């Protein structure tokens, strides 16, 4: 009897890898939205925040056809991680590995369609250092796959060649992005405990304005009990720099207001009636 061909061996290995991960996968149905998710801990499901509707009921569907209602335990727009809670049904939890796959290695996406597991084969097209999302979330590694992703597969598991779950698949601008396991563990733990991720808060409504020597942010409104008002800023003031770093745009400013910024004291340079001024502002925590 001849030995199995390399392709047959690879096929069998992939099938076994998918079969081992499949029991932890499920579908997440929210208002006019379909996504995938996986069991993180007993009674807790991780899914993609962007694929989760902002309102309405949430149901989760399993491969055997059963469904369960779920509630949102917490969600973080900046890292695209959402946590759901449900009662009943003993389902094995996925085992997340902290490894970051090397460039060019194979990856398997295991998702769920109407609760039934589905799979796709991909290659790691980018494997790089930690990065910050456009919404200001800290992602522990930049992992991209050379394939697109259907909307119902957002929130699915991504496995490496050894069958280890290295993260969650979400839709990127052009290719599939992987939210690494380290990010999921960190964010989901906070969502389980607090229901949200703390974000920095200035307590001011800002509008970019052109200046003779650059760009500033005009204070259009103030939370009377917020950090900006407490620091002495007034409506009409124009912020020109934070900690001596010139203001560039609102997106860059929002990226700086991450969880680690809460409680930090920043030196704010501003113009009031055209005259320069400086205040010390203690960044607060954004209200729920």
Gap between the Cα atoms of 111 and 157, Å rounded: 6
Closest C-alpha among 205, 192, 207 to residue 249: 207
Gap between the Cα atoms of 86 and 38, Å rounded: 12
* The predicted structure's pLDDT at residue 20: 95
- Same structural domain, 269 and 128: no
- Same structural domain, 44 and 186: yes
- Same structural domain, 50 and 134: yes
Alpha helix segments (H runs only) across the chain:
6-21, 181-194, 227-231, 250-255
Question: Which of 151, 173, 197 is the C-terminal boundary of a domain?
Answer: 197
- Same structural domain, 97 and 155: yes
- Same structural domain, 21 and 139: yes
The domain tally of the chain equals 2
Query: Environment class of residue 28 by beta-carbon count within 10 Å: exposed (0-12), middle (13-18) or buried (19+)?
Result: buried
pLDDT tens per residue across all 288 residues of the chain: 457 798 999 999 999 999 999 999 999 999 889 999 999 999 999 999 999 998 889 999 999 999 999 999 999 998 999 999 999 778 899 999 999 999 999 999 999 999 999 999 999 999 999 998 888 889 999 999 999 999 999 999 999 989 999 999 999 988 999 999 999 999 999 999 988 888 899 999 999 999 988 999 999 999 999 999 999 999 999 999 999 999 999 888 887 887 788 999 999 999 999 999 999 999 999 887
Strand partners, 43: none
Contacting residues for 93 by C-beta, under 8 A, at least 6 apart? 24, 39, 40, 41, 42
- Same structural domain, 171 and 235: no
The DSSP string of 229-273 is HHHT--TT-EEEEETTEEP--HHHHHHT-SGGGTT-EEEEEEEET
- Same structural domain, 153 and 18: yes
- Same structural domain, 192 and 208: no
Question: Which of 197, 220, 243 is the C-terminal boundary of a domain?
Answer: 197
Residue that the structure tokens 């992987």 belong to? 178
Question: Which of 144, 162, 197 is the C-terminal boundary of a domain?
Answer: 197
Structural domain of 121: 1-197
Closest C-alpha among 249, 288, 252 to residue 132: 252
- Same structural domain, 175 and 217: no
Gap between the Cα atoms of 176 and 80, Å rounded: 13
Gap between the Cα atoms of 75 and 197, Å rounded: 8
């Amino acid at each position: 009897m001849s030995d199995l061909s390399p392709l047959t061996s690879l096929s069998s290995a992939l099938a076994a890898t998918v079969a081992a991960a499949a029991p932890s996968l499920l579908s997440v149905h929210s208002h006019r939205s379909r996504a995938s998710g996986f069991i993180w801990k007993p009674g807790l499901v991780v899914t993609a925040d962007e694929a989760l509707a902002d309102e309405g009921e949430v149901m989760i569907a399993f491969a055997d056809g059963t469904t369960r209602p779920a509630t949102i335990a917490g969600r973080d727009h900046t890292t695209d991680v959402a946590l759901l809670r449900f009662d009943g049904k003993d389902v094995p939890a996925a085992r997340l590995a902290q490894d970051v796959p090397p460039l060019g290695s194979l990856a398997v996406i295991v998702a769920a369609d109407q609760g039934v597991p589905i799979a796709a084969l991909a290659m790691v097209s980018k494997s790089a250092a930690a990065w910050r999302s456009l919404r200001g979330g800290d992602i522990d590694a930049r992992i991209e796959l050379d394939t697109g992703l259907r909307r119902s597969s957002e929130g699915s598991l991504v496995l490496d060649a050894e069958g280890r779950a290295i993260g969650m698949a979400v839709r990127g601008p052009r290719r599939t992005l992987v939210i690494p396991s380290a990010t999921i563990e960190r964010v989901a733990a906070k969502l389980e405990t607090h229901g949200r991720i703390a974000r920095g808060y200035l307590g001011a409504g800002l509008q970019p304005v052109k200046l003779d020597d650059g760009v500033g942010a005009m204070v259009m409104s103030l939370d009377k009990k917020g950090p900006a008002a407490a620091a002495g800023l007034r409506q009409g003031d124009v912020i020109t720099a934070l900690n001596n770093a010139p203001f560039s745009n609102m997106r860059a400013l929002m990226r700086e207001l991450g969880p680690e910024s809460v409680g930090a004291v920043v030196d704010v340079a501003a113009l009031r009636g055209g005259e320069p001024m400086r205040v010390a502002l203690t960044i607060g925590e954004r209200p729920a």
